[in-house]
A and B are shown apart, each in its own frame.
Chain A
Amino acid sequence: METTRKLIRKHSLELLYKKLSASNKVYAPVTATDKQVEYKYNPPFSDVTFDHIRSTLSVKNLVFPKVENLFIFSNSKTESSITDVNLNLLPNVVLWGSHPCDNAAFDILRSIFCWDINDEFFSKRLEKVTVIGLACHTSDDYCFCTSTGNAPNSVKGSDILLSKLSGGDYIAEFITAKGSSILASSPELFENETEEKAVIAVVNTKFSHEQVTEKLQTAFEHPFWVENSLRCIGCGACTYVCPTCACFDIQDETKGKEGRRYRSWDSCGFGLFTLHTSGHNPRHVQSQRWRQRIMHKFSYMPDRNESLGCVGCGRCSSACPVDMNISEQLEALQNI
């Protein structure tokens, strides 16, 4: 489908940001004092970064919060009542300046949360999000989006995709109706496209995900998993920073007679994740958990959810305290 492309000057981008901030919560990346990039709600435009490679955390919390209430209950011995969370009160959110890898993750998350029965906690949040993505003009060695079927300028998951021009202005590509409505409501901020070309990062392909998926069909018992996870300490950082990891726990919390049932991020890297009450654990050693993480993303999900469970953002590798590099491992897996 042919999309509309328009030029937007840097100063108009600021006007657009302010206009959107007036009626939405705008979630945008800023550089914190420790040089880490984090997303904040409605930061001043002057703080918003346009040059980051990756934020420390992904933006999945917009649609899958770290902790979210499933319902509130009040409980006496014989009388219990349940109060639903009103998901219709969720605010509109504009996700600003997120990269194509993170934006591609929304469809993957949808394939998990809505594959069989629809999880409204996820889908109602997603409905409220408008994504103004930002193509990558820089990258580093951890990036491998091109190996997972994505690209530094992929429009997947974006309503509008911004690409930086060499002179510092931007091209805005309007992908969806949500995106086009922003153009329609602020036509004065956009100009016709010029000959000037966008600066797009070069991300070399490191492996073929099709080949990895193929290899994994017969790799369950391969010594690879033990060899490559010996140094894994099971901290779960990889799953925490991952834009597509969606495994969760459900717990209760009470204060007096009132309480909540909530879900929270969990990790297949934890031994407790699969531990039976009897003490039996189907994944009792770390290598089985590491295998689960790779298998889930590169074998089970392509098979069951028709999508790869990885977007190649490189966060798990950069966050790993023992330097387990996922793209290096997948490259090796391809050749076992």
Chain B
Amino acid sequence: MSENIYKPYLMEIDNIIEETPDVRTFRLKFKNLEEAENFSFKAGQFGEYSVFGEGESTFCVASSPTRKGYIECTFRKAGRVTNALANLEIGDTVGFRGPYGNTFPIEEWEGKNLLYIAGGIALPPMRCVIWNTIDLREKYKDITILYGARTVNDLVYKHELDEWKNRPDIKLITTVDPGGQTPDWKGEIGFVPTVLEKVSPSSDNTIAILCGPPVMIKFTMPVLKKLGFQDKDIFTTLENRMKCGFGKCGRCNVGKVFVCKDGPVFSYEQILELPEEY
């Protein structure tokens, strides 16, 4: 039996959550129990999800490795594959290859405060590490989550935001861009960098994990620096177009660094070494 590295696992859609009109979360279970048994991954890793006949698309695993027996992915209907995925129903089959890439160094973060900052559809690639650290809650000090979206409608994981909001051991700050609020909106109104500056979390013994659109990153970084965060204590997960997922197809590289092999998780110290090609 040959080892076909391009062959996906067959997964059954076990549950679908409509996060926003164009964002879905799938819970996927392995059709083959032996494959389910042997499968493991860590926070930060990604995979190639496919609809047979349409092709593959790359997303991070959005569920935590502490939640066994399934994986989840969250995607926005944007291209050919994600539109095809969005048309599927519970019980349908999708392909999954992975896990690929490196991981968030959560063991090194033990005993520290964690500050998660996400914008829009960039919460899904961080949801895995967020839940992973929440599930190991006693190992970390304060956990703060700052999440912003353009409008209230664009916030994903609304059910979980409520759960996090109600937990005394998690500080959740949600914000929407000015004009994006609804009459009953209780969260902040303002862009993520502005709200971050207002909340002004301490950088002392704290790791910041940041993911969002380039414009959010661009304006959030100076605020983090102002708050005293060191480059080595700021982490992000990069995305570049990928096909293979394991350093052969040649397109996700940033300089000599493969996002698929050396990333997708990078510290800002590492990112500053990279040419601007992401």
Contact = CB atoms under 8 A, between A and B. Distances in A.
Interface string A37-73: 0000000000000000000000000000000001101
Q: Which of B239, B248, B275, B278 has the most CB of A within 10 A?
A: B248
Interface in A299-321: 299-300, 303-304
B137 interface: no
Contact of B254 (A73, A118, A282): A282
Interface stretch (B49-57, B111-119, B165-173): B49-57
Interface residues of B, number: 43
Interface of B: 2-8, 10, 12, 50, 52-56, 78-79, 82, 91-93, 95, 214, 239-241, 243-244, 246-256, 261, 275, 277-278
Interface in A246-304: 246-254, 259, 261, 263, 266, 268, 273-278, 280, 282-283, 288, 292, 295-296, 299-300, 303-304
Contact of A252 (B53, B92, B93): B53
Contacts of A80: 10, 52, 93, 95
Nearest to B58: A277
B91 A78 contact: yes
> Could you tell me the dominant secondary structure of chain A's interface residues?
mixed
Contacts of B214: 280
Query: What interface size band does chain A fall in?
Result: 35 or more
B4 A120 contact: yes
A227 interface: no
A296 B258 CA distance: 12
> Could you tell me the dominant secondary structure of chain B's interface residues?
loop
Contact of A247 (B4, B79, B251, B261): B251
A292 B250 CA distance: 10
A88 interface: yes
A178 B142 CA distance: 64
A254 B239 CA distance: 29
A261 to B, nearest CB: 7
B240 A82 contact: no
8 contacts: A80-B52, A87-B2, A113-B248, A119-B5, A220-B255, A249-B243, A282-B277, A303-B256
Contacts of A254: 52-53
A282 B244 CA distance: 18
A22 interface: no
A90 to B, nearest CB: 11
B239 A276 contact: yes
Nearest to B261: A116
A266 B240 contact: no
A79 interface: yes
B78 A278 contact: yes
Given A250-B249, A252-B55, A274 B241 contact: yes
